[in-house]
A and B are shown apart, each in its own frame.
Chain A
Amino acid sequence: MKLIVNGMELDIVSPPLTPLLHVLRDELDITSPKAGCQQGGCGTCTVLVDGEPRRSCLTAVATVDGASITTVEGLGDRDALSPVQAAFHRHYAAQCGFCTPGMVIAATALIQRAGGPVERADVLEALGGHYCRCTGYVKIIDAVVAASRGEVDQIEDLPVSVAGEPEVQPKGSPA
């Protein structure tokens, strides 16, 4: 079997009924999809399979042989966050962070499908199967709506460390 994972074409040796979650985590060491419940209930293992959000814990790898898989590692990195990643960071939508990979993936799929701004009701529908126990969801919904409108500050706007200075140097602080 083969998978194209975050743009890399990889041979897969796990048995065909192995959940995609375990192939990603244990064969490929791609650890952003989490084993939150392994019953399809919590959403934190969600990845994109050919652009569609899927619960990797309930997806036997053989059923997606040859598919293109995207995890949050494939969306962006520190220097080039995707709009959804940047919005989650800017809006404090990640607290403990354990549900964040699944949330970001599902939100990315929603915005791609919509092709433009989405409303809160759309977010509730698309993220309804994703649990978060920290935030109370408000900041997550804010982040997804903002990302869909392109209201995303670039990460360069955030304070940066300066050698010899304390780590925290926010712009506009009284000091």
Chain B
Amino acid sequence: MKAVGARLPRYDGIGHVTGRTQYVDDIRVGKNLWAKALRSPHHHASITSLDTGKAEQMKGVHAVVTHLDVPKNVYGHLEGLGVPADEPLLAEGDVRYKGQPIAAVAAESEAAAMAALEAIEVRYEERPALFDIRQALDPDAPQIHQWGNVYPHYGPYNHRRVRKGDIDRAFDDADVIVEGVYRPQAIEQMPMETQVSLVVPEASGRLTIYSCTQAMYFSMGVVAAHLQVPLNKLKFVGGTVGGGFGGKVDTASETISALLALKSRRPVKWRWTREEEFLASATRAPWHIELADAVTKDGWILGRRTLTLHDSGAYARFSPYGVTKHAFHHSGAYTIPNLRFDGFVAFTNRVPTSAMRGFGVTSVSFAVETHMNRIAEVLGLDPWELRLKNANRIGDTSGNGVVLKDPSTVPVTLAAADRVGIELAASFRAMTPEPRSGDLLPAHLVAQQSLNGEEA
């Protein structure tokens, strides 16, 4: 326990302040080729023709790749769970978001690679695009995805569900119904280091892949799947990441760099521009969240109905997982005995969305905490006291049936009140996370308490 409570230097701190830390872009392997991608200028279109012949003949160009060069072009992050693949590495047939890669070039300079992209002949037939998840379920909405506009693989359902207690009775028993709509928007993670990879074909036949990924073994699996090679043909080198914040969970550049390295038989580096980072890298998802809470005049939340639409962008990636996490957290840090949650993953013609700092959780926390304030305002109650009253207690049962053994809502809320100088009544200041009793155990919460600590 030498480190606990001690002020330790960063192990990489001196490298950072002396400029010696080697990020992927700082690796030197001798002369490398530079990669650039032809990206869709349209949000939604079919590709009617694609001809890379002229680009291939240009001076300084060593490889051009399209979907025809990818051993397994269409891949899905959730294939291991039995969900079919849905996203092409390089577009074939259709483009579904502006910035989607269609072809890629490796050339002796970035300028030569850019010139070669200009020489690729591609024709599109534009289609109507869909950007608003609220329209995704309309019968006349543009159809975006091979599965329609909603992800259909939640077991027998086309959405993530939570059903707990008797929601209709909670709404019948309520004094007031408090409704709210919350729409957190897309955010680009914007790490200082853009997406970058360097792939070196080794004499052994392996590829060494210098990667800025946040998820080494996951990225290795993605590259191996697309290339259809065993993992022992890939050596991933990473761990030094110039910021990620979730934006480097999805495998952005490694696979295409690897394809170009294999085809050109030379080292290939792909360093995204800042513009590409904003245009084509995954963002945090926009959400549409509708909450309706059945509450009593004295501030008990009897039930909550939730409809959530998650904007997955053009492909599924990890969005179904994000919505599942969202579902787990939709009752917040509070004990609500009756829940009905329906969460949909909707497709739009936006860049695919992905992780950012609390995947699926921050969005619903924003909605829930704003809603708590709204309830307090409607009821004329103190928002701190409303939170403390409904806070998770030891032995309470969460929305997804977990009996809570160490919930921190009460101490964290009290500490937050203290830090911002909020004066609470003595009865609230004295609260602990211990199991409910007395006034804090009204009839509607009795069944929520599992005194023997076993899973409900």
Which A residues are within 8 Å of any B CB, using their own CB?
Answer: 29, 31-32, 34-39, 41-42, 44, 71-73, 75-78, 81, 85-86, 88-89, 92, 94, 96-101, 104, 131-134, 155, 158-159, 166-170, 172-175
Contact = CB atoms under 8 A, between A and B. Distances in A.
A141 B302 CA distance: 48
Given A35-B271, A96-B243, A170-B8, A85 B17 contact: yes
A41 B9 contact: no
B14 A89 contact: yes
Nearest 7 Cβ contacts at the A-B interface: A32-B19, A97-B16, A98-B242, A94-B16, A31-B26, A72-B19, A170-B6
A154 B243 CA distance: 28
B16 A29 contact: no
Contacts of B17: 72, 81, 85-86, 88-89, 94, 100, 104
A169 B245 CA distance: 30
Interface of B: 1-3, 5-23, 25-26, 28, 189-194, 241-243, 245, 271, 273-274
B2 A170 contact: yes
A134 B243 contact: yes
Most buried by B among A39, A76, A100: A100
B220 to A, nearest CB: 22
A104 B21 CA distance: 14
Most buried by A among B2, B3, B13, B22: B13
Contact of B18 (A85, A96, A131, A158): A85
A33 to B, nearest CB: 8
Contacts of B274: 36-39, 41-42
B18 A172 contact: no
Contact of B1 (A38, A73, A174): A174
B234 to A, nearest CB: 25
Nearest to A105: B19
A101 B3 contact: no
Contacts of A170: 2-3, 6-8
B192 A31 contact: no
A94 B13 contact: yes
B23 A34 contact: yes
B14 A34 contact: no
A98 B192 contact: yes
A11 B323 CA distance: 57
Most buried by B among A29, A39, A98, A168: A98
Contacts of A88: 13, 16-17
5 contacts: A39-B274, A133-B190, A133-B192, A133-B245, A175-B2
Nearest to A42: B192
A159 B271 contact: no
Contacts of A131: 192
A44 B192 contact: yes
Given A96-B242, A131-B192, A73 B6 contact: no
A173 B2 contact: yes
A168 B18 contact: no
Contacts of B3: 168, 170, 173
Contacts of B189: 133
Contacts of A104: 17
A8 B275 CA distance: 35
B273 to A, nearest CB: 7
B206 to A, nearest CB: 25
Contacts of B271: 35
A172 B20 CA distance: 29
A12 B107 CA distance: 23
Contacts of A174: 1-2, 5
Given A98-B243, A167-B11, 11 more contacts: A35-B271, A36-B192, A39-B274, A81-B18, A85-B17, A88-B17, A96-B192, A97-B16, A98-B242, A100-B16, A169-B2
Contacts of B273: 38
B8 A159 contact: yes
Contacts of A42: 192, 274
A71 B23 CA distance: 17
B17 to A, nearest CB: 4
A44 B217 CA distance: 30
